[in-house]
Amino acid sequence: MAKITESLILIAAIALGALWLATPSAQADEPKTLTKSVRDEFACPGMHAEWLDAHTVQCLREKP
């Protein structure tokens, strides 16, 4: 009887481990890149960032 119980516990532990490995992580839904507002604020603090292409930014003063 003890061997059957140990076997069932082992099978349950293996199944739970497989389910845990198969579930996606919580960070999978988070964006992988910076959002545009954070990127703009980093590139041009206190100003408006006008992106000319993927690597070139022009910082413009915001109108009061």
Query: Looking at residue 29, what is its pLDDT?
Result: 57
Residues forming beta bridges with residue 49, ordered by sequence position: 59
Residue 55 has pLDDT above 60, yes or no: yes
pLDDT higher than threshold 80 for residue 12: yes
Percent of the chain at pLDDT exceeding 90? 23
Instruction: Output the pLDDT for position 62.
Output: 79
C-alpha to C-alpha distance for 44 and 40, rounded to whole angstroms: 6
Name, in order, each residue with C-beta under 8 angstroms of 44's C-beta and a sequence gap of 6 or more: 57, 59, 60
Spell out the domain ranges in the chain.
Answer: 1-24+32-60
What does the pLDDT read at residue 25? Answer: 65
- pLDDT tens string 18-38: 888 887 665 555 556 667 788
